Chains A and B, each alone.
Chain A
Amino acid sequence: MTARAVVTGVGVVAPSGVGADAHWATVVAGTRRTGPITLFDPASYPTRIAGEVADFDPAGYVDARQRVQTDRWTHLGFAATRLALADAGLPEQAPDPCGWAVTLASSSGGNLFGQRELQRLWGGPTRTVGAYQSIAWFYAASVGQLSIHHQFKGPSGVLVAEAAGGLDSLAHAVRTVRRGTPVVIAGATECPLSPYALACQLRSGLLSDVADPELAYRPFDVAASGYVPAEGGAVFVVEELGHALARGARIYGEVTGWAATHDAAPTDPHAGPDPTHYARALRLALTRAGVRPHDVDMVWPDALGMPAHDRAEAAALRAVFGDRTPPVTTQKPLTGRAHQGGSALDAATALLAFRHNLLPASAGPEQPAEGCELGFLRAPRRPRSRIALVGARGFDGFNSALVLRGAAPPPPTD
């Protein structure tokens, strides 16, 4: 039970960039990367902008045979995993297969692949689908493919808690490390950007229909109008501390606390949830990490962008921290909200902030809405306690929280 789990590799494949460095540059510059949807013609939909991974070339990460057998969501997962392994200084093939595992979150599976095959089945001349539909659409497709490609034979998992699951996958990686598997790949990528997946999301009532990408996704702002969907996410190498130290790995930080709760109430787009249970998740994660609320350096909130939900999140943070919350920062407006990939991406940003010894400024709100006046970080600053709290919420009541303790900063190099 005493085994400690640290993050030694971060792989980002997101609208903010491919690779942790590209993502970090976008975060620091505060550059918005959402824009008109190009994966299909969005003209007939009220939401026409999204966060896409621009110029993503799967051929750089996935061989030709696997490419045709898998969805874009899995391509993104392959890329993020390979980047994370390289970042951690680990080989592509697990040298000790049963000691390596993979647990990712996935909230909607292989949407583009699945829609193409549904169309073939119902609109084509024969009532058939292709041979790969059975392995490309379902939620476990990416984890299965990754376990085969990289020889991850340890206890693997696929988690679904809508947007909250990216954090749950890191928590589960720690459970798995503590039970004797020294290397666990965790995190999430998503690709909910097919016409049908967008049609499904539109029914949630949470998507922004503001046409100007600059103004569409503005969490905690007086002009909040819902969120902009996105693809991509982040994948991590979570490693048992002794294993990481023995090989001289560079450590980003330790996963020291986590918690999940449920509202037991469905999401109403226009009425905010009772903040009680989200606040309890945040508090439980801090308690498990042995951290007092006022020792938290930085908070990455869920930042849904619906007024009532933003107010509820602010109320939850005040319930935990009192009226003076720690600095709050969100970069979700830059990328859009990539569901479980989005919460994983926030955890990546937090770890990169400690690595670069810089807490990044928040991308908004320009004018906080009433009830949302939190301590948004307006200018970057140096970390102090190096403790981050990341919160995430999932549709229909999921709440997750993660506490990350950043490793000491590397000595200045130039």
Chain B
Amino acid sequence: MTGRRTVVTGIGVVAPGGATRDRFWKSITEGRTATRRITFFDPTPFRSRIAAECDFDPDAAGITLAERQRADRYVQFALACSAEAVADSGLALTDAVRERAGVVLGTAVGGTMALEKEFVRVSDSGRRWLVDHTLGGPYLYQALIPSSLAADVACRHGLHGPAQVVSTGCTSGIDAIGYAHQLIADGEADVVLAGAADSPISPVTVASFDAIQATSPDNDDPEHASRPFDADRHGFVLAEGAAVLVLEEAGHARRRSAHVYCEVAGYAGRSNGFHMTGLRPDGVEMALAISDALRQARVAPGDVSYISAHGSGTRQNDRHETAAFKRALGPAAYRVPISSIKSMVGHSLGAIGSIEMAACALAIEYGVVPPTANWATRDPECDLDYVPNEARELPVDVALSVGSGFGGFQSAMLFRRLAATL
């Protein structure tokens, strides 16, 4: 809007199957699935007993003792990702930089894991409505308010710019990067650590999705349970994870000769105004979001090199999304490679949007698009190129990613390889 452009100069990822950026990328481009029977608690009473869990070692990730005491698991993920992203960017956090550096992070369910654990204690396993507050841990307030996510990352790096948590459910990860992009475009910040984190693998979340049969009940074959776009798909597989990007004003990055992965070329959101969990099969609002993002970037539908799909693996989502791609891109929808990494890393609610944006940036960087794993049987309603089972080498100049979530939120974001002239 003011000629200020946003570029990505650093990436940090904690994902199932890979607790660092490089391991994550290796794992998904090898087509490995990280879904398994839940190990965090005994899942026997539940309908869906599978999830994609992170093998996260707080020590290896450099989480301090004080941070471990304060911060719920999802915040620790974000701390790890932010440190990895800052190191990757090579950005020196001087006093001047820190004053205009912000933090914008998404989360769908925030401190649910800590809140549930503490609830069991203070309520005597659900026996007391009037809970015993004296039994609560010292950081219980931080668990209640998801703003802790942005606060703790700002504290870790000493960042004094705008800090915000964006919590639009399952599009949070795209929307947080979008919000950060707007802060940079409008001159409110020069650098923003932007991304999302969620660690929802907890009985209450599992029970919530059981109640509406949104998650896959394929408990006997967890490794193949997440089956986006496959005719034999039965719901999504719950997951956890995080990704944080260093977003930087393009001139700021250029002046320090930073390595630039790509630019944030377009971002748009629409709501379907239809249903909290249901999707109309026509995909109209998602298509509108995609078209708006393309318009901002001045990119024609035929110039999209890769689409990172929402691809949750529910019956309705994959059909809805396929229709949206056709509506927004026209005949080009049949030519562009589309994949869902949720087939491998599951659906980490608010976090996954940022993890998928990280994958888009890495796809542009390395010229490889990750596959949709577990794809075996064609669904007549999902008839596009979903990059089945094996990664594909191809130059990626423009990557589109979309998200869709409870509440009817539809978001689209476009990353583009930066022209050498900028």
Contact = CB atoms under 8 A, between A and B. Distances in A.
Q: Is this pair of chains taken from one and the same complex? A: yes
Interface of A: 1, 40-41, 44-45, 69, 97-98, 101, 106-108, 115, 117-124, 126-131, 133-135, 137-141, 143-145, 147-148, 151-162, 165, 168, 172, 175, 178-179, 192, 195-204, 259-266, 277, 280, 394-398
A260 B162 contact: yes
Given A140-B168, A159-B164, A196-B123, A154 B271 contact: yes
A261 B155 CA distance: 12
Contacts, number: 266
Contacts of B158: 264
A163 B131 CA distance: 24
Contact of B207 (A127, A139, A202): A127
B116 A118 contact: yes
Contacts of B272: 153
Chain B, interface size category, equals 35 or more
Interface in B255-294: 268-277, 285, 288
B271 A265 contact: no
A123 B129 CA distance: 10
B400 to A, nearest CB: 17
Nearest to B207: A129
Contact of A119 (B126, B132, B271): B126
A157 to B, nearest CB: 6
B147 interface: yes
A39 B272 CA distance: 34
Given A159-B167, A178-B1, A199-B133, 9 more contacts: A108-B144, A118-B204, A121-B126, A127-B203, A161-B150, A192-B144, A197-B144, A201-B141, A396-B142
Residue from B2, B186, B208 whose CB has the most chain A CB atoms within 10 Å:
B208
Given A145-B276, A147-B271, A262-B161, A200 B207 contact: no
B301 interface: no
Contact of A118 (B123, B210, B406): B123
Contacts of B145: 107-108, 160, 162, 395
B203 A121 contact: yes
Contact of A1 (B1, B172, B271): B1
Contacts of B409: 140, 144, 156
B358 interface: no
Given A120-B126, A143-B407, A260 B146 contact: no
Contacts of A97: 273
B385 to A, nearest CB: 29
A227 to B, nearest CB: 13
A397 B141 contact: no
Nearest to A145: B276
Residue from A1, A139, A202, A394 whose CB has the most chain B CB atoms within 10 Å:
A139
Contacts of A196: 119, 122-123, 131
Residue from A122, A140, A175, A280 whose CB has the most chain B CB atoms within 10 Å:
A140
Contacts of A129: 204, 207-208, 211
Contacts of B408: 144, 147-148
B204 A1 contact: no
Contacts of A396: 142, 147-148, 151-152, 155
26 contacts: A1-B2, A40-B129, A44-B133, A45-B133, A107-B147, A115-B129, A118-B119, A118-B123, A118-B204, A123-B127, A127-B207, A128-B207, A128-B211, A134-B212, A134-B277, A138-B167, A140-B168, A145-B276, A159-B164, A160-B147, A160-B165, A175-B182, A179-B1, A196-B131, A198-B133, A262-B162
A115 B270 CA distance: 31
Contacts of B288: 98
B333 to A, nearest CB: 22
B179 A172 contact: yes
Contacts of A202: 133, 136, 141
Nearest to A141: B407
B162 A118 contact: no
Contacts of A141: 276, 407
A199 B122 contact: yes
Contacts of B108: 138-140
A118 B109 contact: no
A196 B403 CA distance: 32
B418 interface: no
B195 interface: no
A17 B81 CA distance: 45
Question: Nearest 8 A-B pairs (CB), nearest first?
Answer: A144-B407, A123-B126, A122-B126, A199-B133, A396-B151, A200-B144, A139-B167, A260-B162
B276 A195 contact: no
A145 B272 CA distance: 11
A337 to B, nearest CB: 13
Contacts of B168: 140, 143, 156-158
Contacts of A203: 133, 136-141
Contacts of A261: 160-163
Given A108-B145, A160-B146, A397 B155 contact: yes
A97 B146 CA distance: 30
Nearest to B140: A203
A115 B152 CA distance: 26
B246 interface: no
Interface string B106-125: 00111000011001101101
A341 to B, nearest CB: 13
A155 B163 contact: no
A200 B126 contact: no
A389 B207 CA distance: 46
B126 A118 contact: yes
Contact of A151 (B2, B175, B273): B273
B175 A122 contact: no
Contacts of B151: 262, 266, 395-398
Given A117-B204, A134-B209, A162-B145, A264 B137 contact: no
A86 B155 CA distance: 42
A265 B155 contact: yes
Contacts of A198: 133
A147 B136 CA distance: 36
Interface in B360-415: 405-409
A277 B102 CA distance: 13
B133 A133 contact: no
A343 to B, nearest CB: 13
B80 interface: no
A127 B137 CA distance: 25
A391 B407 CA distance: 31
A265 B116 CA distance: 27
B103 interface: yes
